[in-house]
Structure formats: C-alpha cells, structure tokens
Structure 1
Amino acid sequence: MIFQALFECMDFTGWLFFSFVVLVLTDVFRNWRPHSFPPGPWAVPFLGNVFTGVDFKTMEKLAQVYGPVFSLRRGSERMVFISGYKMVKEALVNQLDSFVDRPVIPLFHVIFKGLGIALSNGYLWKKQRKFANTHLRYFGEGQKSLEKYIEVESNFLCEAFNEEQGRPFNPHYIITNGVSNIISSVVFGHRFEYSDQRFRKFLELDNEAIVLAGSAQTQLYDAFPGLLKYLPGPHQTVHANYKEITIFLKKEVEKHQEEWNPDDPRDYIDVYLAEMEKKKEDPQAGFNIETLLICLLDLIEAGTETSSTTLRWGLVYMMHYPEIQEKVQAEIDRVIGQSRQPNMADRPNMPYTDAVIHEIQRMGNIVPLGFPKMASKDTTLGGYFIPKGTFISTILASVLFDKNEWATPHVFSPEHFLDSEGQFRRRDAFLPFSAGKRVCLGEHLARMELFLFFSSLLQRFTFSPVTGEMPSLEGVLGFTYSPEEFRMHALPR
C-alpha cells in the first residue's frame, strides 16, 4: 500500500529522478570491482575513469598511489596497467602465455578487423607472424642484405641533408621517408624518392593518424564506439586516413598481381600471393588480399614510425648535448674515418656510439604505454586476480625510467650503458621493443637502422639548433611519443 501510494503521487520529474537512481545503482553493481581485482581510483557511473589522463606521466602517478598493478575503467571496460621493470618482466617473460592476446580496440578494429600481424590472435596470428618473419629474413638477407639496403639509403639521406646547404630545415619527412624506404624495398620491391609527393602524402596521413590515436578525445571512441561513430571528432580523421592509406597499398598489390611471376618472387607481396595459392585449403590461416593489405600496413608502420622517431629524438639530444655529439664523432673518426661508410661490423668497436643510441631509445620512450594486450587466461599477477579477456597495458616508460634500475633515470647519460672500462653493457631493463611472444617483429631491423643511419649522419654532419629555436625535450604524445616539430642546421664536416 505504501509503495502504491508513493507511485501514485510521483510526477514526471519524480519518475525521471527515480529512473536515474535505478540506472546509477545498476551501473554500480554491474561494474563492481571483482574480488582480488587490482585496485584503482573511484569510477564515475556510466563513464568510468574517462576523465583520468591517458598519458604515461599520469599512469606513473597512479602507480605510486595504487601500486605496480592497478586498474581503470573506460565506460564498462576494465583495464589493468602494469608498472615497473619487476612486474612488467613477470607479466611478459615469466608468465609468457598469460598476456599474449590482443584485445579488440574499437578505434583500430574499424580498419584492422583483427587481421594482419599486430592485432590478430590465435592460429591466424601465428601463421601470419611466422610467414612475415621468415620472408622478411629471406628478402632481407637471402638476396640483398638488409644492411646493404640501409647503407644505400644512408647515402640518399645524407645527400638530402647536404642539399639543404647548412640552411635551417625540418628533417621530419626526409628521415621518415629514408627509414620507410628500407621496409618498402622489402615489401614492395622498390624505394620511393624523397620528392615523391604521393608517398609523402602517405607518410603524412599515417603520422597524423598515429598522433591523433593517442589523444584523450580520440580514445573516448574506445569507451563509447556505438555513440561516437555517428559524431564528428578526431576518430573520424583517423579512420579516413587509414582508408586512404589502404587505397595506396591496394594499388601496389594490384600492380604486383598484374606483373606476378610465381617463378621469380621479387618481394614480400609476391611471396604472399604465392602463399595465397598454397593455403586455399586452409582459410583459417587468413592468406587473402584483405589480410595482405593489413599485413602491409602493419609492416610499413612498424618499420617506419619507431625508428624514424628515434632518429629524430637522436638529433634533438645531440643538439642539447653537443659534447656528447663530439665524442660520438671522435669515435667514428677513430674507428671508421671519412673514407668509407659505417657497417655493422664496426658496432662492437664503437661502444660509446652504441651506448648513445641506446640512451636515445631509453629517453626517447617511443611507445610509453606499450601495445595493448589482453589476458589470454585467468591468471594472478602481483597477488591480484586478472580474469581472462581483461585489457592489459604494460607501461614501458615505467621500465625505461625505473629508479631501481637506472642510476639517473631522468637524465640523458650514455654511461647507463657503459661499464667501468668504457665498454658497452647490456641492460635487462632496456625494453623499448617490449618482450615476450609479442616482442617487436622488426627489432633486428630497427637496431641495424638506428646504428647505420645515426653513425652515417654524424660521420658527415654536425647538428646545431637554429638560433632561438632549441628543440624541446618534451614530446608530443600520440600513439607514440615523438619530438615536437623542429628546424635545425646540418653542417657538413
């Protein structure tokens, strides 16, 4: 009787308020943190922690409050963040099979659709990754070594710098084009001239998509894709850019199909077309044109973005630390001289240069939040229970700046990678390529590119800032962490 009387006297506003309270309580109970789940800040009903910053510095502060394993909520999705070398190693190395899967990331799923290499899972991922790994090595080493590709491109890159004649210029897309030409030579069978406006547009579209993908506004799409897909915003630009990039890749594939000779494979696309014929009876392996396009996108992005961004950070740090630049050049002059190009056989004899490159990678912190993963099975980490299917982020920045692993974590110091006798020393907490089964496929290529491009550039040029325009050491956080746009002088030595 009491409830009946209450309902009869409620007006529209009262019903509205009552409905809202019911919805809030429903959301609270539905999204109640499970028992033994990692702790985290209080979540706003319906929205979760969408107002919490998505940058690695915010994550570092949260780790200080909640510990090395903590959680956030985006909409109704729970996410676990893993911080510090000890716990990241436990997740990626010691528990090798616990966090090997990729989650569905709505922002990228529109384009990648769970295909390719980076965002696929299970049988398809194993087949595509194994195929890419095998044939990148074949075309990189069997016919023309990757080292030779890089040496040739280093000459083109240095010539492009030389053409600036010491005038101020922005090296962004010259470097990006040069680095991208290595993986392009392997997958497409040819490089692109630095004056090629069509490829320049491709690189610009990709760079814009990568920068926008890391913004807080864009990442709202991942929390509320059903709503935001109909609304304007940076997520629409990301999707539009990737569609245009895919059109570029499709034209390259169509050209290969027209010229394809199964008896004379020239590059990755040719051998993939042959594999499509062989795997017709195994559709689950995913060898088809749609998957090929996503594999190409994966390989081009992975083979371009991180290495080119690291090289740009390298130039920024050399301008900030001219005394370190001079020591690198002195080692180059002593070991290589000026009469020949650097090669990989020189690296063991150049510990200081090697240490500087590693420190650039550490301080550059290119992928601070790692690449998203998902718990492949119910597991326990740091004493907390993490159910199968939980979104996982290993904060690589927390490893590269772990105060328990580095003497001066926030200071640029090549000595982090040198022993007492000045010889190069490896560091377990150096994980810019991540670790475990999802370790970067192109790590070997990236290491060669960084050494050969960096040493070639410093062999031939001294880099200095434009007066009044010293580049910032604070980067731009997109999906990767990159330097702000800058101009510089490249003075021939």
Structure 2
Amino acid sequence: MWIRAILAAVLACLLILHFLKLLQAYKKYPPGPSVIETAAHLVRSGFRIHYDLFTEAAKKHGHVFTIWIGHYPLVIVSGVQAVKEALIKHSEIFAGKPVTPYFNAVAKEKGIVFSNGHTWKQQRKFGMSTMRKLGMGKKSVQNQIEEEAHYLVEAFAHAKGQPIDPSLLVANSVCNVICILVFGHRYSADDEEFVKLIKSVKYSTKFGGTFFHLLYEGFPWIMKHIKWPYKEAFSAVDFMLSHARREIEKHRAQPTPYEPQDYIDYYLLQMEKSKNDPTSTYDYENLLQCISDFFSAATDTTSDTLQWGLLLMVTHPVIQEKAQKEIEDAFGSSQSIVYQDRKKVPYTFAMVHEIQRFKCILLAGNPRVCLEDATILGSFIPKGSIVVPDVRSILYDPKLWETPLKFNPNHFLDKDGKFVDKEELLIFGAGARVCPGKDMAKSELFLFLTNLLRAFTFKLPEGVKEANTEPVLGMTMGPHRYKLCAVPRYSEL
C-alpha cells in the first residue's frame, strides 16, 4: 500500500514540476491562445490547423502571438509589418529551419529545404546558380516550359469537350518540367514509373499537417515504433529517393558530357571538383535529398495553383472571357507565347497573380527558427523559437486589397490598366529563405494558363450547377477533386 502511495506522490510531484516548467516557459513567449483553446480548435477542424485559428488569435492577442501545440510553442507573426520585419529586416536572424522529428526522419538534415548552417548555404547557393545556368542554354528551362504547355493543351484536346478531372494532366506537365531540369528528359503520361513518381510526390506532400503527422511530431519516441500510420508516407519518400538513385546511376554510366545538361550533371561534376575539400557538403546523400526537395517543393504547389486557376475560370466566366479576348488580340490562334510576352497581356498577367493571392495554397509561410534573441513589433522572441509567418493575414488584409474576399485581377492593375507587381504577394517567402524556384513557378503559371485559355473555354459539366471552392485543409491547400469541360475555341483542336 505504502509503495503505491509513494509512487502516487512522486507522480504528483512530477506533474506539478512539469506544470510549473510550462508556466515558466509560457512567460518567455508572446501571449496567445491557451493550450485548451488550441486543442478545441484541432478537435473542431478534424485535427488539422485551420487558418481561422491564426485570424482569431491575431484579433485578440495582436500581430505577434504564440500557439502551443502540446508543449511545443509556435510564434506566429501576423500582418504585413510584422512579417516583413521578421523575414526581410531580420532575414539572417530568422534564416534557420526547424528540424522536427518527422522531417528529420525523412530528410536527415540534408539537401536544401530541411538543412541548416553550412550545408544549407552551400547546397542552396549551388542550386540557385545551377538553375540560372540551365536557364541560359540552348534548351533553356523557358523553352521546356513552353513545350510542356503545348503538351498540356494536346492532353486537354483529347477529351473533346467531355468532362475531365484536370488534376493528373496538370500534375504531369508540372512534374515533367522538374524532370527535364533535374534528369534531362521528360516522361510520357502513361509511363508507369512516372505515374508512381507523381503519386509519391503528392502523397508525401499532402501527408504534412495530417493528424498522424502531428502525432509523430508530438510523440516521436512512441510513434516511430508504430509503423502502420506512416507506412505509405515513408514508402512514398523511399520511392522518390530510389527513383533519383536510378537516374543518378544512369548519368554515372554515361560518358561525361562536354557541357552539363541537367542538375545531376552539374552536381556530379561539382562532387568531383570538391572531393579533396574538407569543407565540401557535395555528396551522394545531399544530391538525393536536393532532388527530392525539388520535386516536393515545386510539383504539388504549382499543380494545385493551376487547378485553382482553372476552377476560378469556371466560376468567373466574365473574367475568363476578358482574359481570352486579351490573349487573342495579342497572339491570335497560333503565335507562340513566351514569358517575355507577359507585358502584352497585363490583365491576364494580373489574373495569374490574383489566383495566387485569392486561393493561396499555403496554410502559412514556411516556418523558421530564430537563431538569436529578437524583438518584433515590441514582442520578445527567444533564441531557438519556431516562428511561422502568417502570409494569409497579408493576402486578405482589407487595408492592402480593395476587395480581399473577392477574385479581382484589378488588384494588380493601376488606373491605366498596366500591371503592378505588389511586394505584398509573399507566397514565395522573402529574405534568406525565399523560394529558389519562384521564377520558374511564375513562368509555368503564366505559360500554362495563357495557352490553355487561348485554346479552350472552361465550363462546369452539364447538370452540375455549383463547384466546391473550399480548400482541402493541410500544409498545402489545393481544391477538392472536380471535373470540368474544356470546350475547344478553334476547330483545329
């Protein structure tokens, strides 16, 4: 009996100490919703973080507040002033990347997205310089995007105006751009290996923010021994890496090209050049993870944005028609469209930007780690804090946008109808961790959408009166699966 009493007393003391430790920790961070309020929100939203949590917290606690997920604090910076101060003014302080248990198991702090310090700086610098080199050759990235846009138009044309789900067609084209950049070749849409690659990329991306993902982050010492909820997620990652290994081995088996043709060529060459450099991080594991990063970061985000764009054309036929007329006046029915032509179609280019604003696919900006003590708008943020920029608070701010809750391309036009590039569109991040592939993503969105709108008018299938425009909640928020009709605008299609 007395043993039970002693154990109960010890347990009670431990709980009290843990509670006191949490209270002490709470005092270090900016105030925010209580653990109970956050837990209630997670239950209501099906154990996913909904962006309403940030909105309501900002109204109550100001532009810098803390959300506690269990005993893990997330400092949220909300509003244009706070986000810019963190990401731009204090760019180097907020350049760290949090390495959570799940993503540490997946990426092992390799590559670009989930690395820090010297590894991150070296891999990122090399990645960005290589992208620029690939974009300046005879077969530049721009030319390949234009070619993929034509393939996408052909794929839609095969449906002959009948209802189709555009998600796979769009994903094929976006993923092929990455394949050309990294592997040096594209795949046909019916290639089984390619189809499996796309599914693996999509699943690994969509797993982030799910209930089981959050469970792993909160209780890694338990969940790493419970395999079944994570079997498909880890299998998807393993397939992406094994596919990358096969492509690397193909490159190694071929004679060294006189001039590198793709990312793997450049990387293998760099590995050889720096093999005697003790500070070099150019190795096989980093190459694998960089390839995985390119696919994970670029495929699903751009694909989801394009799918939102097509859905918005269906639900806003007047805007669709206005863009089509501008495109037709500028290019006719057959002239090739290149990214440099965007100035000829300011309304359409503004519309592409408005799609990104109105249907932002990010729950929030990429989380950062505060590398030293910092103060944002008078709120102290301790070193080591995970800081999340609330990008949506900027994209729907009525002080910045005339009609923030409406799809309105005029947000990016001046009074004379000329395009205005607004720095408040922070969907690619800012500062030291700005997305290295943002220029390529912008080209894809413009070229794919303009070529599709020139070729087709998009409508709901007959009998379908309304489209679901609510997002699927997750770390990225794409549309629910839908069908549309791509009605050819010219007889030759």
- TM, length-normalised to structure 1: 0.93
State yes or no: 1:30 paired with 2:18: no
1:50 deviates by 7.1
Give 1:43's aligned residue: 35
SS at match of 1:33: helix
Q: Which residue of 2 aligns with 1:6?
A: none
Are positions 1:290 and 2:275 aligned together?
Answer: no
Percent identity of equivalent pairs: 37
Alignment check: 8 A CA contact 2:205 2:296 kept = no
C-alpha distance in structure 1 between counterparts of 2:34 and 2:444, whole Å: 45
Change (3 A) 1:50 1:389: farther
- Once the two structures are superposed, residues 398-432 of structure 1 have per-residue CA deviations (whole angstroms, 9 ceiling, x without a partner) of 12112221122111111111112222112231111
- One-letter identity of the residue aligned with 2:18: D
How far apart, CA to CA, are the structure 1 residues paired with 2:482 and 2:40? 37
Q: Which residue of 2 aligns with 1:468?
A: 464
1:144 aligns with 2:142: no
Residue 324 of structure 2: aligned partner: 329
2-side partners of 1:475 and 1:284: how far apart?
45
Q: Cα–Cα, structure 1 residues 154 and 49, in superposed 2: closer, same or farther, change >3 Å?
A: closer
- Residue in 1 that maps onto 2:86: 91
Whether the 8 Å contact between 2:323 and 2:347 is mirrored in structure 1 is yes
Alignment of 1:236-275 (within 5 A): 236-261=231-256, 263-275=258-270
- Opposite residue 289 of structure 1, the aligned amino acid is Y
- Does 1:357 pair with 2:371? no
SS at match of 1:254: helix
Instruction: Flag the 1:109–1:284 CA change in 2: closer, same or farther, 3 A.
Output: farther
Cross-structure match for 1:420? 415
Structure 1 residues 56-135: aligned runs within 5 Å: 56-135=51-130
Q: Which moved more, 1:259-268 or 1:159-168?
A: 259-268
Distance 1:262 1:358 in 2: 39
1:161 to 144, 156, 169: 156
Match 2:226 to one of 231, 235, 239: 231
The 3-state SS of whatever aligns with 2:136 is helix
Once the two structures are superposed, residues 40-73 of structure 1 have per-residue CA deviations (whole angstroms, 9 ceiling, x without a partner) of: 22336xx999768522222222222221111122
C-alpha deviation, 1:283, in angstroms: 4.5
C-alpha displacement of 1:282: 2.9
CA distance in 2, matches of 1:74, 1:460: 48
Two-structure CA RMSD over aligned residues (Å): 2.1
The residue that corresponds to 1:4 in the other structure is: none
1:197 aligns with one of 181, 186, 192: 192
Contact 1:205 1:242 in 2 (8 A): yes
CA shift digits 1:280-313 (9 cap, x unpaired)? 1235432111110000011122232221111100
Query: Could you tell me how far 1:35 is from its partner in structure 2?
Result: 4.2
Aligned pair count? Answer: 483
Secondary structure of the residue that 1:109 maps to in structure 2?
Answer: helix
Task: Give the letter for the 1:43 counterpart.
Answer: V
Distance 1:207 1:344 in 2: 27
| Cα offset, 1:233, TM superposition | 5.5
Give CA deviations for 1:140-172 in whole Å, capped at 9, x if unaligned: 222322221111111111101101111111111
What is the alpha-carbon distance in structure 2 between the residues aligned to residue 10 and residue 50 of structure 1? Answer: 41
Contact 1:276-1:287 at 8 Å conserved across structures = yes
How many angstroms apart in 2 are the aligned matches of 1:186 and 1:428? 28
- 1:478 aligned partner, one-letter code: G
Q: Residues of 2 paired with 1:377 and 1:81: CA distance? A: 17
Residue pair 1:55, 1:477 contacting (<8 A) in 2 also:
yes
**Equivalent position SS for 2:375:** strand
Do the aligned residues in 1 keep the contact of 2:28 with 2:382 (CA within 8 Å)?
Answer: no
1:237, distance to aligned residue in structure 2 (A): 2.7
> Are the aligned partners of 1:39 and 1:70 in contact in 2 as well (CA < 8 Å)?
yes
Q: Contact (CA 8 Å) 1:211, 1:477: kept in 2 or not?
A: no
C-alpha distance in 1, partners of 2:432/2:323? 34
Q: Mark the CA change 1:53 to 1:483 in structure 2 (over 3 Å): closer, same or farther.
A: closer
**Which range moved further: 339-348 or 324-333?**
339-348
State the SS of the aligned residue for 1:213: coil
> How far off is 1:264 after superposition?
3.8
1:480 to 465, 476, 481: 476
For 2:300 and 2:159, locate their aligned partners in 1 and report how far apart those are by CA, in whole Å: 24
Question: Contact conserved, 1:338 with 1:459, CA < 8 A, in 2?
Answer: yes
CA drift of 1:16 comes to 5.0
How has the CA–CA distance of structure 1 residues 197 and 183 changed in structure 2, closer, same or farther, with 3 Å as cutoff? same
- Separation in 1 of the partners of 2:120 and 2:224? 27
8 Å Cα contact 1:48/1:74 also seen in 2:
no
Alignment partner, residue 5 of structure 1: none
Which of 313, 317, 342 aligns to 2:337? It is 342
Which residue number in structure 2 is paired with residue 439 of structure 1?
434
Provide the C-alpha distance between the structure 1 equivalents of 2:289 and 2:404, rounded to a whole number of angstroms: 37
Deviates further, 422-431 or 229-238 = 229-238
The structural deviation recorded for 1:263 is: 3.3
Q: Which moved more, 1:321-330 or 1:82-91?
A: 82-91
Residue 454 of structure 1: SS of its match in structure 2? helix
Post-superposition offset of 1:382: 2.2
Per-residue deviation, residues 360-398 of structure 1 (Å, max 9, x unmatched): 000121122111210011111122221221111111111
Shift of 1:249: 1.2
Task: Letter of the 2:471 partner, please give it.
Answer: G
Counterpart of 1:218 in structure 2 is 213
Change (3 A) 1:349 1:55: same
Name the amino acid aligned to 1:485: R
Match of 2:488 in 1: 492
| Greater Cα shift, 320-329 or 402-411 | 402-411
**Once the 2 structures are TM-superposed, how far is the Cα of residue 118 of structure 1 from its aligned partner?**
0.9
1:386 counterpart residue number = 381
**Selected match of 2:303 from 302, 308, 323:** 308
Given the superposition, is the C-alpha separation of residues 283 and 291 from structure 1 closer, same or farther in structure 2, using an over 3 Å criterion?
farther
Return the offset for 1:259. Answer: 1.0
SS at match of 2:171: helix
Q: Do 1:367 and 1:479's aligned partners in 2 also have CA atoms closer than 8 Å?
A: yes
Q: Distance in 2 between matches of 1:465 and 1:485?
A: 13
Contact 2:48 2:474 in 1 (8 A): no
Q: How far apart, in 2, do the equivalents of 1:409 and 1:25 lie?
A: 47
Over 3 Å counting, the alpha-carbon distance change for 1:171 and 1:178 in structure 2 is same
* C-alpha distance in structure 1 between counterparts of 2:215 and 2:192, whole Å: 33
Q: Is this contact kept in 2: 1:210–1:478, CA < 8 A?
A: no
Structure 1, unmatched stretches of 5+, are 1-8
Q: Which amino acid aligns with 2:357?
A: R
